[in-house]
Amino acid sequence: MVSLKANSKKEEKENEPAVIVEPLPPDYRVVEEYWVKEPYAKAVIAESIRTGELKYFALEEPLRKDELSLYEKIVSFLEREVDPPDDPEVDRTEFVVKEAGKLIRKYKRLRPASEESKNRILYHVARDVAGFGYIHVLMLDPHIEDISCNGVRTPIYIWHRKYESLPTNITFVSERVLDDFIVKLAHMSGRHISSAHPILDATLPGKHRLAATFMREVSTSGSTFCIRKFREVPFSIVDLVNMGTLNDLIAAYLWVLVENKMSIMILGGTGAGKTTTLNAVASLIRPEMKIVTVEETAEINLPHENWVQFISREEFGFSGAKARSITLFDLVKTSLRYRPDYIIVGEIRGEEAYVLFQALATGHGGMSTMHADSLDYAIK
């Protein structure tokens, strides 16, 4: 199970809570509300009557006092009696709910008073043990693209598809709890973060991209994180046309380029939709073609079977016995030995560009993205 003790609910009983989850104030007007997980979690977009500021409220049905006691016992039994699943592809939430249900049937002292109470407890158990704890509602909300925490005593911010950047009602006030939460996210991604290695770039379960820093080693406000949520069903080229990202003429032109194995470079600033566009264009590649993708974190999602996905690796281990890093440069060189029809590099910004351009010159199809606001800036 996850090492963070069920999100430290006991700390919430102390004088100063570890995390503040603000209820909807009376001086806010509800603009929109919708269920994220009915009937336990709801998202509310509300406007301050005084300032006109929009705010995102993640509202969950709380546990009653008797339910909180059962919750803590169930989590304790899970940690003692249940081993993590061997298969990494197993749905963690379903696994925890199933195992917790077995424990409730096995031990009478764990049985809630009603089925409704049991389901509410199981939601909170799954949320804290297998899910994302304090930010679980944000992770479940399909309208949220990015989640960022800038440190303690600052609200968590989100990027909402409809309302764009919004502060939320969730604020970490304990540095220790935020540090523990960062460690939990690192463990969920199968990686390590510490004072010695305080910067993390990883992939969470569900293929969500995580960037994090630890304690005050590189950030003056304590630990920070930013999660770029992964869309399970990626946008197609038709979706991009319908949203106005591309017009039909440009979409048709890109399709012709792909059919003729031409090279495509997508430029743009941070959050401009480079990877989304890359994924949509790459989906136009014919199914029988061999594709090799090279990325630092897994973001590309293709429907093709004949597809090899390479992910770079940082060095790890102790001094004198370190496993060396595997860079994008190494992986692009390796990809040439796989006889690909298309080589796709998630983002180029260093020496890997040299090998990629050599491959393109020998007749391979290629795609990539680059951080650049203009063509001139990209060339320079």
List, for residues 317-335, the tens digit of each pLDDT value.
555 545 678 988 899 999 9
Q: What is the CATH number of the domain that holds 109?
A: 3.30.450.380
Pair of tokens at residue 207: 């293929």
pLDDT at residue 10 is higher than 90: no
Residue that finishes a domain, picked among 209, 230, 251: 230
One domain, residues 87 and 160: yes
54-60 and 41-48 beta bridge pairing: antiparallel
In percent, the amount of the chain with pLDDT more than 70 equals 93
One domain, residues 278 and 153: no
Residue that finishes a domain, picked among 176, 203, 230: 230
In percent, the amount of the chain with pLDDT more than 90 equals 73
One domain, residues 50 and 182: yes
The predicted pLDDT at position 349 comes to: 82
One domain, residues 177 and 124: yes
Cα distances (Å, whole numbers) of residue 136 to 130, 133, 167, 207, 254: 10, 5, 16, 15, 38
The predicted pLDDT at position 5 comes to: 41
**Average pLDDT of span 360-377:** 87
DSSP state of 4: S
pLDDT tens, 265-296?
999 988 888 999 999 999 999 999 999 999 98
One domain, residues 251 and 183: no
The predicted pLDDT at position 323 comes to: 64
At 2, the pLDDT band (50, 70, 90 cuts) reads very low
> Which amino acid, residue 338?
Y
Residue that finishes a domain, picked among 183, 208, 230: 230
pLDDT at residue 228 is higher than 60: yes
pLDDT at residue 9 is higher than 70: no
One domain, residues 124 and 217: yes
Higher pLDDT, 316 or 164: 164
Name the residue range of residue 245's domain.
Answer: 237-379
Number of domains in the chain: 2
pLDDT at residue 174 is higher than 50: yes
Return mean pLDDT, the chain. 90
342-345 and 365-371 beta bridge pairing: parallel
Q: Establish whether the linkage from the previous residue to 39 is cis, with ω within 30° of 0.
A: yes
Strand spans (E) along 24-122: 28-37, 41-48, 54-60
Instruction: Please state, in angstroms and rounded to a whole number, the distance separating the CA atoms of residues 115 and 111.
Output: 9
pLDDT tens, 208-219?
999 999 999 999
pLDDT tens, 62-116?
999 999 999 999 999 999 999 888 787 788 899 999 999 999 999 999 999 999 9
Q: Which long-range contacts (CB under 8 A, 24 or more apart) does 262-265 make?
A: 262/365, 263/360, 263/365, 263/366, 263/367, 264/366, 264/367, 264/368, 265/367, 265/368, 265/369, 265/370, 265/378
Cα distances (Å, whole numbers) of residue 156 to 27, 165, 182, 187, 199: 21, 11, 14, 21, 19
One domain, residues 224 and 155: yes
One domain, residues 213 and 257: no
One domain, residues 164 and 256: no
Instruction: Please state, in angstroms and rounded to a whole number, the distance separating the CA atoms of residues 326 and 178.
Output: 30
One domain, residues 178 and 279: no
Instruction: Please state, in angstroms and rounded to a whole number, the distance separating the CA atoms of residues 369 and 278.
Output: 7
One domain, residues 270 and 366: yes
pLDDT tens, 115-164?
999 999 999 999 999 999 999 999 999 999 999 999 999 999 999 999 99
One domain, residues 179 and 226: yes
